[in-house]
Amino acid sequence: MLSLINKKFNRVVVDADYLIYRINATQKQLMAKSEFTINTSEMIERLNNKKEAYPLFTVSYGYPKVHEPVENALYLIKAMVRDLKKAVNKEELELYVTPLGKDNFRYRTAKTLPYKGNRVADEYGRSTGKPVYYTPAREYLIDNHGARCIPHIEADDAVSIRSNQDRENTLIVHIDKDINNTPGHHYNPNTKEYYYMTELDSYRHLSKQLLLGDKGTDNIGGLKHWCKPRMLGPKKVDSLLDCATTKEEMDQIVKDSYLQYVLDDPDGEKFKERLEEIHSLVYMLQTKEEYQKIKEFMRDD
């Protein structure tokens, strides 16, 4: 992986959800220093006079509770967007955010385990995985930075589709490993790493996710959910798939691994159905045609 972006891209598409979630980590660091100072003179006219729309929030991360205005969080996002533009050498960014609530096709395709069902709510009904500032921060990105929200799909699907329209001249900015299923140019703003995923690289990453799922983040069990415990771990799956040189080999490895370790389906009669469910949850949409099918699915369901 390279640490610098030397190529000039025609288009930079950003999964902007990371900007919202990164607020928590940033403010932890600030509060740990017992300092929380913001240069208010640099705020955007009280961020379009929206302060009155939001009260002071109570934040606690193991430190004494701190009451702070929502502008502080939005200022951090403003600074991150500014820094990102410098990092990718592009003034115009295409930002995408995920729809609110459950306007997401994956909540309907998940049958075995509830999608994101491992994210518990706090006493106020808010997901503990979401920053206190989630809604105002999201609105700020839409109102002030032109972020777009595409119905029924997540931000990572949106940037994947957009990238595939002109893969060689588009840079995808994200911190989400799921988007590595998408071939093309990638940039991780947390690690400041630029890298390129070939078609084969991306398919290998997808194949690993089909077997392993993503239980910790999105409550996706993967095909190993139906298999003998501890038989399909990350190291085992890596060793199986890293040697494959074609998509067909990877498909066969996924199926053979399932059949070898499955507990309740010795003849593989449920393999196709289970594979389709997991695929719908971990695969990033890549074409407008795929998105059209999602819209029809959400309309008909």
Sign of CA dihedral 124, 50, 147, 1: negative
> For 229, which DSSP code?
T
Q: What are the pLDDT digits (tens) for 73-83?
A: 888 899 999 99
Backbone dihedral angles phi then psi of residue 102, each to the nearest 5 degrees: -110, 30
- Number of residues that make up the chain: 301
Q: Write the CATH number for 45.
A: 3.40.50.1010
Q: Sorting pLDDT into bands at 50, 70 and 90, what band is 243?
A: very high
Residue 127 pLDDT? 53
Give yes or no for a contact between 223 and 281, defined as CB atoms under 8 angstroms apart: no
- The answer for residues whose C-beta is within 8 angstroms of residue 93's C-beta and 6 or more apart is 12, 13, 14, 81, 84, 85, 145, 173
Q: Sorting pLDDT into bands at 50, 70 and 90, what band is 24?
A: low
Q: Sorting pLDDT into bands at 50, 70 and 90, what band is 145?
A: very high
The mean pLDDT value for 118-137 works out to 64
Structural domain count of the chain: 1
CA distances from 111 to 15, 40, 156, 220, 264 (A): 26, 48, 22, 10, 17
Query: Is the pLDDT score of 58 beyond 60?
Result: no
Residue 38 pLDDT? 37
CA 271 – CA 283 distance, rounded (Å): 17
Q: What are the pLDDT digits (tens) for 251-285?
A: 999 999 999 999 999 999 999 999 999 999 999 99
Query: Is the pLDDT score of 51 beyond 70?
Result: no
Domain span holding position 290:
1-301
CA 128 – CA 281 distance, rounded (Å): 22
Q: What are the pLDDT digits (tens) for 212-236?
A: 999 988 999 999 999 999 999 999 9
